[in-house]
């Protein structure tokens, strides 16, 4: 009697394989092993180096090289699977370097405006937050915040213009009909000047909701604090 198991497994592997978004080689993972290793080199030794007032920031990696490329592919080249991988990395870093004041925060992703969401098809910060929560076991509130208006691309603006650009950019989402008992941890893909996070925090605090900090996949060299990576 022929053994059908192996041919079936081979066939299944063909269906489960996809191409690595960076090198295009076939892989059964979201990112192939080689590219995953290169991406891991962007990991900061101390992700909580900026975990201090007034805006505690927890960041997985340095916004440069392979990580910069990964974030661009995730946002502008239709690769939501990269957000899942980065969310898992961020979650693993959180578990291995937990902030001392960590009191099981509730996770809220920075939302996209609905026009942008429709255009992109997914919110990368929401996918990062979802996978961050799968790894850490923290509670996720995907509808904690709502983005009121489309803002100009932040990278083209000065720090002062960014703040202006983000004033009243958010409102409280449907996820908070009741005030949460734990503080909020915001999740975003990149931390640059903190203007987006500050605007989101102002919206939550106005409603009496406490925010303990921001967890971001990457931070730029312009981020606050010493430039130690």
Nearer to Zn ion, 37 or 114 (CB): 37
Residue 79: CB minimum distance to Zn ion, A: 12
Nearer to Zn ion, 22 or 89 (CB): 22
Stretch in the footprint of Zn ion (CB under 5 A) among 1-9, 26-34, 128-136, 192-200: 26-34
Residue 19: CB minimum distance to Zn ion, A: 8
Q: Is 82 in the site for Zn ion (CB under 5 A)?
A: no
Q: Is 32 in the site for Zn ion (CB under 5 A)?
A: yes
What is the Cα Rg of the chain in Å? 19
Stretch in the footprint of Zn ion (CB under 5 A) among 16-24, 99-107, 109-117, 200-208: 16-24
Residue 52: CB minimum distance to Zn ion, A: 36
Nearer to Zn ion, 40 or 171 (CB): 40
Residue 130: CB minimum distance to Zn ion, A: 23
Among 11, 12, 16, 23, binds Zn ion (CB under 5 A): 23
Q: Is 22 in the site for Zn ion (CB under 5 A)?
A: yes
Question: What residues make contact with Zn ion under the rule CB under 5 A?
Answer: 20, 22-23, 32, 35
């Amino acid at each position: 009697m022929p053994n059908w198991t192996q041919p079936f497994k081979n066939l299944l592997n063909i269906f489960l394989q996809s191409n690595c978004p960076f090198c295009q080689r076939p892989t059964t993972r979201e990112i192939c092993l080689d590219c995953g290793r290169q991406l891991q080199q962007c990991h900061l030794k101390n992700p909580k180096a900026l975990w201090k007032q007034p805006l505690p920031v927890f960041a997985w990696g340095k916004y440069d090289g392979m990580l910069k490329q990964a974030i661009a592919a995730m946002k502008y080249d239709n690769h939501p699977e990269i957000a899942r991988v980065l969310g898992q990395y961020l979650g693993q870093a959180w578990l291995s370097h937990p902030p001392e004041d960590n009191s099981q925060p509730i996770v809220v992703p920075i939302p996209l405006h609905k026009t942008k969401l429709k255009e992109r098809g997914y919110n990368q910060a929401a996918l990062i937050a979802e996978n961050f929560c799968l790894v850490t076991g923290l509670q996720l509130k995907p509808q904690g915040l709502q983005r009121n208006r489309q803002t100009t691309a932040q990278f083209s603006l000065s720090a002062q213009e960014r703040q202006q650009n983000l004033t009243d950019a958010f409102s409280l989402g449907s996820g908070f009909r009741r005030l949460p008992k734990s503080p909020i941890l915001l999740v975003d893909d990149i931390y640059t000047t903190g203007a987006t996070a500050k605007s989101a925090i102002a919206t939550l605090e106005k409603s009496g909701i406490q925010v303990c900090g921001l967890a971001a996949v990457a931070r730029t060299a312009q981020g606050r604090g010493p430039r130690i990576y």
